[in-house]
Amino acid sequence: MTDEEIVAAWDAVHEALDALPGWDVVRPSYHGEECLWVAYAHDARHTRARQPHTFVASRGLTEAEALRELAVALRGRVSEA
């Protein structure tokens, strides 16, 4: 995996987030027990503890793959709206 792949994957995530005002992404994390990277995005407008948080998660074998999958999931969320 190259830096260019990671940058391109982040660009895809940010492009998808542009269509979802109030959403934020969390830096992907590696889960060694599953040998997978996990990326999350959530609707940051839900600030009260009693309101359920809306989020999207994705997984991949690499950080870039998890981010690309997150971008796809976020674009799907836009098309649902």
DSSP codes joined into one string, 43-67: ETT--STTSPPPEEEEEESSHHHHH
- Residue 54 and residue 80 in contact, taking contact as beta carbons nearer than 8 Å: no
Specify the pLDDT at position 49: 65
Average pLDDT over residues 33-59: 85
Domains delineated in the chain: 3-80 (3.30.160)
Number of Cβ within 10 Å of residue 15's Cβ equals: 12
Quick check: 48 pLDDT over 80? no
Q: Is the pLDDT of residue 13 over 80?
A: yes
Structure-model confidence comparison of residues 42 and 46, the more confident one: 42
Mean pLDDT, range 65-71, rounded to an integer? 97
Q: What pLDDT score does 47 carry?
A: 65
